[in-house]
Amino acid sequence: MLADYAVCLEGSRGRRHPEPKHAYRNDFQRDRDRVVHARAFRRLDSKTQVFTRRYSDHFRNRLTHTLEVAQISRTVAAQLGLNVDLVEALALVHDIGHPPFGHAGEKALDTAMREHGYFFDHNLHALRIVEDFEIRYAAFRGLNLTFEVREGIIKHSRDYRVEQFPELEEYLLDKKPPLEAQLIDLADEVAYDTADLDDGYEARLLSLEAIRAGVPVFERYYRDVEQIYPDAIEKLKFNEAVKRMLDGMVSDLIRNTGKRIEESRIRSLDDIRNCPHRLASFSSGVEKERRETKKFLFANLYFTPVLEPEKDDAERITRELFNFWMEQPESLPQSYQEKARQEPLPRVVCDYIAGMTDNFIYDQWEKYCRGK
């Protein structure tokens, strides 16, 4: 049973190119399946989240991270009576626009673009992927996703102003996105805050002592675990504490969002869209803990000197390849050379690089830039 404020199929604004209904899969389920079958989705498997494979084969990459976000989002959506099919499609597509080499790659690509008067934004890039770059169907270009999925791609993590992005006007930029889209960003937070503690501990970049001292919410759960399993080995106590932390954040998100829906007297999807602020959120207590956790991860993991050389390499490889193709566009693949006749060259080079996996960009750099 869907809540009154959930996105329902009957209310969908539909696809750009109308299609006959499927016999037993609804439109949001079909969108989810189209995302899973997209080439850009498969490539998430070889894209860095935080760590490259140098540290271990056990770590998350963007694909496994995406699956964790989908699992968390489904749980939250079901509890709030939201449209789980739409939420699943949005979660699976949420990171599809990320370039290789995680944030270092994104930063390098954005810097290179700004030198030519453009910029790189992974949400806008994701929209270009599903609208234009994926070529799988004879009847149309792109995946021909429903309006609600395209809107969620753009609006799940931030608001865009129509004065600055007139090309996005159709996505109701003066209104808030449905709760289905709002909760993706928070599920993303839950997934990577806990996963990065886990991977950081596993990589021995974070010690148990440092986490206990620097992440109060972890410390609280760890003490509980020590009471229940005093004889368990450290690694298992660690896992139990991280698991409780994840569950605590998810439960708080469900509870607090439900409470805000009540307090704001939300009765319909329009009420959600017209509400001056987003309604999906953690309680102030958990929000404070989340910020503490993030601060700890920034100081001790994302900006640890140990990962610096790797990030420097990522930025240098991205920048050098970008400059190489700007100077020698005749070395781009044929299809991109053709695109460059219709679109600005920096945009075409950026699109090409953003689609690459960590392995492929490295191979390209070896081929064109190494030793030059």
Quick one: which segment of 22-30, 181-189, 287-295, 311-319 binds Mg ion (CB under 5 A)? Answer: 181-189
Residue among 66 and 257 whose Cβ is closer to Mg ion: 66
Least distance to Mg ion, CB of residue 66, Å: 7
Stretch of 129-137, 186-194, 225-233, 285-293 contacting Mg ion, by CB under 5 A: 186-194
Q: Which of residues 343-372 bind Mg ion (CB under 5 A)?
A: none
Is residue 95 within the footprint of Mg ion (CB under 5 A)?
A: yes
Question: Which of 31, 189 has the CB closer to Mg ion?
Answer: 189
Q: Which stretch binds Mg ion (CB under 5 A): 6-14, 119-127, 180-188, 355-363?
A: 180-188
CB of 270 vs Mg ion, minimal distance in Å? 29
Residue placing its CB nearer to Mg ion in the complex, 27 or 193: 193
- Closer residue to Mg ion in complex, CB, 30/98: 98
Question: Does the footprint of Mg ion cover residue 252 (CB under 5 A)?
Answer: no
Indicate the residue type of 307. L
Residues 6+ apart with CB under 8 A from 200: 50, 206, 297, 300, 301
Exactly one of 188, 189, 240, 252 binds Mg ion (CB under 5 A); which one? Answer: 188
Q: Which is nearer to Mg ion, 70 or 348 (CB)?
A: 70
* Total residues in contact with Mg ion, by rule CB under 5 A: 2
Q: Which range in 34-42, 88-96, 228-236, 256-264 contacts Mg ion by CB under 5 A?
A: 88-96
Which residue's C-beta sits nearest to Mg ion? 188
Nearest distance from C-beta of residue 260 to Mg ion, angstroms: 23
Q: ∠ CA 327-371-100 to the nearest 5 degrees?
A: 65
Nearer to Mg ion, 180 or 240 (CB): 180
Q: With respect to Mg ion, which residue has the nearer C-beta, 95 or 180? A: 95
CB of 188 to Mg ion, least distance (A): 4
Binding to Mg ion, residues 289-348 (CB under 5 A): none
Residue 87 or 348: the one with the smaller Cβ distance to Mg ion is 87
Only segment of 95-103, 201-209, 312-320, 333-341 that touches Mg ion (CB under 5 A): 95-103
Q: Which of 1, 49, 51, 7 is nearest to 28 (CA)?
A: 7
Interface positions with Mg ion (CB under 5 A): 95, 188
